[in-house]
Amino acid sequence: MAQEYEQINVGKRTHKGKAKVRALRRDGKIPGVYYYHGEENVNLEIDEKNLYHALSSGQHVFEVTMNGETQYVMIKAVQYHPVTDAVMHVDLMRVRRSEKMTFNIPIVLQGEAIGVQEGGVLSQILTAIDINCLPTNVPESINVDISDLELNSTISIIDITDVPDDVDIVTSEESTVATITPPKEEEEPVIEEEEELAEGEDRAEGEELAEGEEPAKGEEGKQEERSKPYGDKKEK
């Protein structure tokens, strides 16, 4: 049974300029471009609802009709509005179903790791992987079994074994996919001890001496001077 592909409804776009593009979007169309090495780029207008359906389909290869002929394309790039996340522009690249290409697909972690059962924290470092395969055989994801992953251990690309025969991994073998680390211990707040007053440090103004304590040398005169009633004068 032949594989079925989602179809993207496209038409050639002859008008250019910001005003024309805004009018195109108001009419429910998305501007785009179709290209293939050795051929001239073609500006397109794409049905908005049809495009969103294709983007959510999970497929990597789609059908388009160009000059009355069915061609196969992949969505190479999508530009989104920075505020609304609406699709602003799409790049469609023609592919040949008999030629291998590079695709970026998600990594799905499966199983409950031993390290997590022991209280460790699982961190997925790599969420997607680059693979090389035929456009007709692109897997939806690469599944990674982490059941045997222990505390303070990592799993890397080189450890992935569940890969279809006709799929080659392009991402570096040394790249870390996931790791399990011990939980962070909460640190108790450190209470600093109050420093004792340095010996001989001047007392705060107005501080009284303890009973039986004598003032330090040089302080007696100052103490008397401070205690003189207002208006007293020194004898000449």
pLDDT, tens digit, 9 for 90 and up, residues 154-203: 999 999 988 988 999 999 999 999 999 998 876 666 666 555 555 555 55
Give the model's pLDDT for residue 17.
Answer: 82
Which residue type occupies 87?
V
Pairing assessment for the beta strands 176-181 and 153-156 based on DSSP bridges = antiparallel
Q: Whose structure tokens read 């049809």?
A: 50
- Ranges of CATH 2.40.240.10 domains, the chain: 10-94
Q: How confident is the model at residue 224 (pLDDT cuts 50, 70, 90)?
A: very low
Give the model's pLDDT for residue 227.
Answer: 44
Residue 54 clears pLDDT 50, i.e. is over it: yes
Cα distances (Å, whole numbers) of residue 182 to 121, 144, 152, 153, 174: 6, 21, 7, 10, 22
Give the right CATH number for 10-94 from 2.60.40.10, 1.10.3720.10, 3.40.50.300, 2.40.240.10: 2.40.240.10
User: Residue 153 class from Cβ within 10 Å (0-12 exposed, 13-18 middle, 19+ buried)?
Assistant: middle
- Distance (Å, rounded) from C-alpha 9 to C-alpha 45? 9
Pairing assessment for the beta strands 101-110 and 69-80 based on DSSP bridges = unpaired
DSSP-based helix, strand, coil % in the chain, nearest 5:
15, 35, 50
- Ranges of CATH 2.170.120.20 domains, the chain: 101-181
Give the right CATH number for 101-181 from 3.90.226.10, 3.40.120.10, 3.40.50.20, 2.170.120.20: 2.170.120.20
Give the model's pLDDT for residue 165.
Answer: 87
pLDDT, tens digit, 9 for 90 and up, residues 98-145: 899 999 999 999 999 999 999 999 999 999 999 999 988 888 899 999
pLDDT, tens digit, 9 for 90 and up, residues 17-33: 888 888 999 999 999 99
